[in-house]
């Protein structure tokens, strides 16, 4: 579920067997590759996610933390595109993290 307040948004992510450190590293790798991954960008457009005007370069906007139940909370703080970035997390990052292809 995505919760949003102003320019902040958060999403609770069931990370399965991935710990916080591994998930953070994999997500950072995915973020750094995304702006140049035409296949991923085309798939996101087909999924209906409009990223026009969203900056996909620079430091990752995502902050990850563990919650008390062992899941991860992903958040984007003080960012004008927080809602779109959380949609991007739910669609692209969760798909990639759960595919298992990144964990190798």
In a domain, residue 24? The reply is: yes
In a domain, residue 44? The reply is: yes
Q: What is the pLDDT of residue 50?
A: 86
Q: What is the pLDDT of residue 29?
A: 93
Q: What is the pLDDT of residue 37?
A: 93
CB distance 9 to 76 below 8 Å: yes
In a domain, residue 74? The reply is: yes
In a domain, residue 54? The reply is: yes
**Which string of b and e fits 34-57 if b means at least 16 CB within 10 Å?**
beeeeebbeebeeeebebeeeebe
**Rounded Cα distance, 87 and 60, in Å:** 15
Q: What is the pLDDT of residue 1?
A: 45
Residue 24 belongs to what domain range? 2-99
Total number of domains constituting the chain: 1
Of residues 58, 52, 48, the one with CA closest to residue 90:
48
Q: What is the pLDDT of residue 44?
A: 94
In the chain, which stretches have pLDDT less than 70? 1-9, 15, 100-104
In a domain, residue 88? The reply is: yes
CB distance 45 to 72 below 8 Å: no
End-to-end Cα distance, the chain: 28
In a domain, residue 94? The reply is: yes
Q: What is the pLDDT of residue 5?
A: 46
In a domain, residue 104? The reply is: no
């Amino acid at each position: 579920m995505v919760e949003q307040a102003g320019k902040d948004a958060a999403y609770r992510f069931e990370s399965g067997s991935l710990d916080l450190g591994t998930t953070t590293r994999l997500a950072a790798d995915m973020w750094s590759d995304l702006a140049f991954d035409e296949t991923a960008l085309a798939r996101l457009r087909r999924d209906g996610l409009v990223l026009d005007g969203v900056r996909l370069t620079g430091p990752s906007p995502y902050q990850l933390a563990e919650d008390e139940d062992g899941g991860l909370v992903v958040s984007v703080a003080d960012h004008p595109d927080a809602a779109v970035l959380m949609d991007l997390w739910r669609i692209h990052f969760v798909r990639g993290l759960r595919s298992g292809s990144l964990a190798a």
